[in-house]
């Protein structure tokens, strides 16, 4: 019994010291505060294109979930942290990739969200360099708050927009199947 208790205590201590997940040289904290609530890192992974590591991406939720559709449709605080891992990403490439992502996420039915998508893409209008960090935080009643390197770039309202945005990574036609799997 004492041995079992000692093993449990050591296991708990080791588990509590793990405070981050490293992905492609980027550390993702195991927690993040959104609207005064502690969120947990659900998962993180790399977006790769033609064997190039484009960015590392982490998903933060109220509680861990492996149900992509439930995450997409939830009207709960959540965030995606995206960190550029190559110098090959330009603002034009990022905007183009996001536009393609919205097309896939909405099955080509993005017309109703076009003004919100345009506003979102403006958040990527500054030069993009390696290690730039984008945080896309959904706050119910406010919308998606987009920041770059800690500076707010815009707020895009609407739960439908949030669903389309999170669908880029978690939907039926994700930007990267392996990244989706890593995030959920």
Q: What is the pLDDT of residues 36-57, one digit of tens each?
A: 889 999 999 999 988 889 999 9
Q: What is the DSSP string of the chain?
A: -HHHHHHHHHHHHHHHH--EEEETTEEEESEEEETTEEEEEEEEEEEEETTEEEEEEEEEESS----HHHHHH--S-EEEEEEE--TT--HHHHHHHHHHHHHHHTTT--GGGHHHHHHHHHTT-S---TT-EEEEEEETTTEEEEEETTEEEEEE--HHHHHHHHHHHHSSS-S-HHHHHHH-
Mean pLDDT value of segment 119-127: 96
Q: What is the pLDDT of residues 126-155, one digit of tens each?
A: 999 999 999 999 999 999 999 999 999 999
Whether 11 is covered by a domain: the verdict is no
Could you tell me the pLDDT band of residue 35, with boundaries at 50, 70 and 90?
A: confident
pLDDT at 17 over 60: no
Whether 2 is covered by a domain: the verdict is no
Q: What is the model's pLDDT at position 51?
A: 84
Whether 50 is covered by a domain: the verdict is yes
pLDDT at 163 over 80: yes
Whether 111 is covered by a domain: the verdict is yes
Question: Bigger pLDDT: 125 or 34?
Answer: 125
Q: Which domain holds residue 50?
A: 20-183
Mean pLDDT value of segment 29-33: 94
Whether 9 is covered by a domain: the verdict is no
* Domain count for the chain: 1
Whether 12 is covered by a domain: the verdict is no
Q: What is the CATH number of the domain that holds 79?
A: 3.50.70.10
Whether 15 is covered by a domain: the verdict is no
Whether 62 is covered by a domain: the verdict is yes
pTM (predicted TM-score) = 0.86
Q: What is the model's pLDDT at position 11?
A: 38
């Amino acid at each position: 019994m004492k041995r079992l208790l000692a093993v449990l205590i050591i296991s708990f201590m080791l588990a509590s010291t793990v405070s981050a997940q490293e992905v492609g040289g980027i550390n993702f904290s195991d927690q993040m505060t959104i609207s005064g609530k502690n969120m947990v890192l659900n998962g993180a992974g790399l977006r790769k294109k033609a064997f190039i590591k484009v960015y590392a991406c982490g998903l933060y939720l109220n509680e861990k979930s492996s149900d992509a559709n439930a995450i997409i449709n939830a009207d709960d605080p959540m965030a995606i942290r995206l960190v550029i891992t190559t110098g090959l990403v330009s603002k034009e490439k990022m905007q183009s990739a996001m536009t393609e992502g919205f097309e896939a996420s909405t099955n080509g039915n993005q017309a109703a969200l076009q003004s919100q998508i345009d506003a979102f893409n403006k958040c990527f209008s500054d030069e993009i360099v390696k290690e730039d960090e984008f945080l896309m935080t959904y706050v119910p009643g406010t919308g998606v708050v987009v920041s770059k390197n800690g500076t707010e770039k815009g707020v895009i309202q609407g739960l439908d927009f949030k669903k389309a945005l999170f669908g880029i990574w978690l939907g039926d036609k994700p930007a990267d199947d392996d990244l989706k799997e890593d995030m959920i």
